[in-house]
Structure 1
């Protein structure tokens, strides 16, 4: 039997009945405490110093769902502190590489069954990514093709607000400090940062600051 060391699993999505049924199954199989909710904001922030990460199964089956919605709802920084796996994903979306850069740890597709679910839990509990070889290859090739070339034109793809927020990032400001400086909500700042990272092709704040040093 696979066991989740933290003993806590969150099932997030609009279909509460399906989540509750799946939660009962997971609790029976791995002895985890399962909690359901509609969005990532339902999950309390991780306690400082907590060694064990929680497993979050996020139902991505809604036709109106997007990675931007996922990030906007992450008010407690769950994507960075815990193990988030997207479930019921359509392979036609091709969101894996971008989602991994946002902090997602794996993907379960419509075709996956119970055995696949349990194998995923075992792998993720060992701090492994749950992705296909094809996606891993695509991700590695994308990273390998990146070149540190100074492109002056890139800066013009950022909006004035995004430039302000990027300036805050280069100064080491936290999201809350940026929000206060530019009279924005923390949710809005987080969404802008997501778009900035996507536009300038970086995955974290340090890379964004280095990019800014070269282009601004």
Structure 2
């Protein structure tokens, strides 16, 4: 029998935290620590080394963004999943660029939250569909010619790939659109991540929107 995923909950609302603990444990996910503040949350993660830290953005002693940055430095093996009420684009971009692998809203379904924990634990990135739609709308609204105002470090082909990544296309779909193999797409994405100094596709898409690379 495989070991259950372990989590620490960093959330200051006691009733919500208790409900979240019950929800996770009903689905075989162990809650090994709880904390209502940034400071105590970081301490709990350092003590228990969980697979996943679930972090609210509004905490009494600071922003959840502060917690994410500290965890990225002090506990890089723990994946961070933001669970918040905020749909603000600034909060999303700050959280993802600080190191969060996922960003979900508190009104998400049980299946979405549980699936999000499992996804970030497996090294995947996940966004709330509603927040992702806002991000993609911003991307499309700010669309500009491929050679205008772009980061000079990215080649024209890499910018084409990045735009399709931001639209949510997987490697196979990108390959079909650009008439290149999935292996070539993978190489382009690896190059994009390295040049933008980001860890995953979501961070690349967020960076593209924030810095107007496309």
Match of 2:20 in 1: 22
Q: Is the 8 A contact 1:9 1:35 kept in 2?
A: yes
Matches within 5 A, 1:49-88: 54-61=51-58, 66=63, 68-71=65-68, 74=71, 77-78=74-75, 80-88=76-84
Distance 2:60 2:152 in 1: 35
Helix, strand or coil: the match of 1:23?
helix
Q: Do structure 1's residue 147 and structure 2's residue 152 form an aligned pair?
A: yes
Matches within 5 A, 1:127-166: 127-131=123-127, 132=129, 133-134=132-133, 135=135, 138=139, 145-148=150-153
Distance 1:5 1:30 in 2: 10
Q: Do structure 1's residue 41 and structure 2's residue 42 form an aligned pair?
A: yes
Q: Do structure 1's residue 120 and structure 2's residue 125 form an aligned pair?
A: no
Quickly say closer, same or farther: Cα 1:202–1:64, change in 2 above 3 A. farther
Quickly say closer, same or farther: Cα 1:65–1:25, change in 2 above 3 A. same
Q: Is the 8 A contact 1:55 1:83 kept in 2?
A: yes
Q: Do structure 1's residue 105 and structure 2's residue 105 form an aligned pair?
A: no
Helix, strand or coil: the match of 2:46?
coil
Q: Map Cα deviations across residues 9-50 of structure 1 (whole Å, 9 max, x no partner).
A: 111021233212311221121242442112332224389xx9
Q: Is the 8 A contact 1:46 1:81 kept in 2?
A: no
Gap runs ≥5 in structure 2: 154-195, 200-214
**TM-score, length basis structure 2:** 0.51
Q: Is the 8 A contact 1:41 1:75 kept in 2?
A: no
Q: Do structure 1's residue 89 and structure 2's residue 85 form an aligned pair?
A: yes
Distance 1:13 1:7 in 2: 19
How many residues get paired?
A: 142
Q: Map Cα deviations across residues 75-102 of structure 1 (whole Å, 9 max, x no partner).
A: 9623x32111111231124322332221
Quickly say closer, same or farther: Cα 1:59–1:27, change in 2 above 3 A. same
Gap runs ≥5 in structure 1: 149-200, 205-216
Quickly say closer, same or farther: Cα 1:56–1:146, change in 2 above 3 A. same
Root mean square deviation, CA, Å: 3.9
